[in-house]
A and B are shown apart, each in its own frame.
Chain A
Amino acid sequence: MLRIRRVEQKIIDVYWDDKVKSPVHLSIGQEAVASGVCETLEPKDVVFGTYRGHHVYLAKGGDMNAMVAELYGKVTGCARGKGGSMHLIDLEHGVSGTSAVVGTTIANALGAAFAAKLKKLGIVVVVFFGDGAIDEGVYHESLNFASIKQLPIVFICENNGFAVHSRTETRRNSDNICEHARVYGITADRIEGNDVLAIKKRVGEAVDAIRSGESGPQLLEIMTYRWMEHVGPGEDFNLGYRTPEEREPWVEDDQIAKLRAQITEEIVTGIDAEVETEVEAAFEFAENSPFPEPEELYQHVYG
């Protein structure tokens, strides 16, 4: 969680220098979701995410240097600078891709889970999406197919209450995401409070049960909150769609601060120093990396 927080804070610091070359959808405040979930996974397991995907990428073990370089548009980036913040990938570490179109990777994750089952790979696929994706038809189609084929997949709905600036309750007739999933024959639970340890526990149960074949697909709705604006490095209370008071309890319940309070000062200092070194090195790596050569424009259209 701290690695994610510090990388994103550093993104904010350098943002106005125009070093970051793509729109950023920061996950600050939602780190617990990715960290809690990915803590339960094995390296061979596969995750898919969304354009708000820095936390998923890093939590699953994606290379930090390659991520920052990708944001800088450098050829050493995880997508050679051609994808930017919204298109992160690190197949070696099981990060199978993020997408800029809401709901899109849900279906792609379905395919990875199908292939995993057919080839008996013994892996679990996890797909992260926001509550906005629940509105998309592809989400419902995907739950249905996952249930029919009993695929080894965990659907993680990061419910931060907003699709861009539109509240969940204006887009749904009732608070029934889990109930809806159960209609498709999918085990579903809500995890309240953005609580990283509760997330780890409940997702771990799901992952273990799916891996052992005791459970079919599961959906976990994880309640969380986006601290920053939808896209960009700032806050957005001036827009008037939410208030600082609404955010306050989430900030007070900051999962990073809570965990820090549970360990000794000495360990905290050590972790801080380690993370600081890693983050600084990643930005330095990005700074010092070259942009793609012009010829690169025509590469990777066809393979």
Chain B
Amino acid sequence: MSTDSAAVGDRILTYPEAIREATLQEMERDDGVIVMGIGVDDPKAIYGTTAGLQERFGKDRVFDTPLAEDSMTGMAIGAAQMGLRPIHVHIRMDFVLLAMNQLINVAAKNLYTFGGAAPVPIVIRSYIGRSWGQGPQHSQALHSMFMHVPGLKVVAPSNPYDAKGALIESIRDNNPVIFVEHRLLGGSTSHVPEESYALPFGKARIQQPGSDVTIVGISYMAVEAYRAGQYLKDVGVSAEVIDPISLSPLDMDTILESVAKTGRLLVVDNGWLTCGASAEILASVAETVETPVQLKRMGFAPVTTPTTPGLEEAFYPNAQSIAVMANQMVQGKSADWIPEEIGASEAAEFRGPF
């Protein structure tokens, strides 16, 4: 993967604007694309991502649903089997847990179970993320649980450019796609071309090239990892920062190539470590490389997500803690450098309610 930046150009959009644009363009291209979910037509329009879509495409293609995640997911699957391409939106990933039977037992399996006869082209958009005391049932990042299941694809873009391209790819994909959006990315901006483009799954982005240590950042942690990479320049550590973008399929080739160069890998997940994306990436590297590699991972503390700010701060990795860890991997554990900046500036700027 080249190091082409997502942000070359001057058409600047926010993450929600990019999501909305991708949806709108695909709905114009294919009248089988529908948008459904609790609140998609309400005044707040899922952080603005569905704003104006109902006015434009009508109530048959953009509609609020009852608070019935299980049946509505099953409904989307049945509609997909009849040729529609539903986008089912959840304002919290925690709510997707109410639909696990349909997602795991049906969406992920129908293609295989029916010998290829019944594809399930659905997109499940849902929000994860730290911000302002959201806590245990309003912020969980469960992408690793979905990565565990054959038949599902999982994508977690970290900037508006990738968000637009990955959503278009998700809608066109013939498989169920779990599309993960981090709330703190809502204010992020980047260049987003007006024309439609699909970002192929399974291609990581090298956000910053480097030679001393490879840092893989997942979802919002791609932002913090990039910042950490900037901080590390102050102490002469050259970090190669990688955003996998899609987690299933996962671009292990780009990660392995980088590790072959640096000999060190730090995976920073926006999630828990046990049986998680970080464990999967480290295990894949460990069983593939021929020369030993220094391996580390960071993620949520192994506890339920707290709401109070002090505990929340300790629960999440940030650019500062990532930089400290990467520096010690390169300079040794005795290295006591701590960057002045903490990172997580989005969290600091976030003000509720939302």
Contacts and interface: CB of A to CB of B under 8 A. Distances in A.
Interface of A: 46, 48, 77-83, 87, 89, 91, 96-97, 99, 101, 104-116, 118-119, 121, 137-138, 141-142, 144-145, 148, 299-303
B354 interface: no
Contacts of B151: 301-302
Nearest to B119: A303
A110 B174 CA distance: 20
B74 A115 contact: no
Contact of B111 (A104, A107, A119, A303): A303
B9 interface: no
B60 to A, nearest CB: 6
Interface stretch (B62-70, B206-214, B220-228, B297-305): B62-70
Contacts of A145: 65-66, 68, 71-72, 75
B146 to A, nearest CB: 14
A65 B181 CA distance: 47
B26 to A, nearest CB: 16
Contact of B74 (A77, A82, A111, A116): A111
B84 A303 contact: no
A145 B65 CA distance: 8
B112 A82 contact: yes
A16 B152 CA distance: 37
Given A110-B75, A115-B79, A303-B174, A80 B84 contact: no
Contact of B101 (A104, A115, A119): A104
Given A91-B118, A118-B34, A112 B79 contact: yes
A77 B101 CA distance: 26
Contacts of A77: 115
28 contacts: A48-B78, A79-B115, A80-B116, A82-B114, A87-B114, A91-B117, A97-B81, A101-B101, A105-B74, A106-B71, A107-B70, A107-B73, A107-B77, A108-B77, A111-B75, A111-B77, A111-B84, A114-B79, A115-B82, A116-B82, A141-B71, A141-B72, A142-B74, A145-B66, A148-B66, A300-B112, A300-B116, A301-B112
Interface string B132-169: 00000000000000000011010000000000000000
Interface of B: 34, 60-61, 65-66, 68, 70-84, 86, 101-102, 105-106, 110-119, 150-151, 153, 174-175
A104 B78 contact: no
A67 B88 CA distance: 34
Given A104-B106, A301-B151, A114 B115 contact: no
A196 B80 CA distance: 33
A148 B68 CA distance: 13
A112 B71 contact: no
B71 A104 contact: no
Contact of A114 (B66, B75, B105): B75
Residue with the highest number of chain A CB atoms closer than 10 Å, among B60, B72, B114, B153: B114
B71 A301 contact: no
Given A83-B115, A108-B77, 11 more contacts: A81-B115, A91-B118, A96-B118, A101-B101, A104-B102, A111-B79, A112-B78, A141-B72, A142-B74, A300-B115, A302-B151
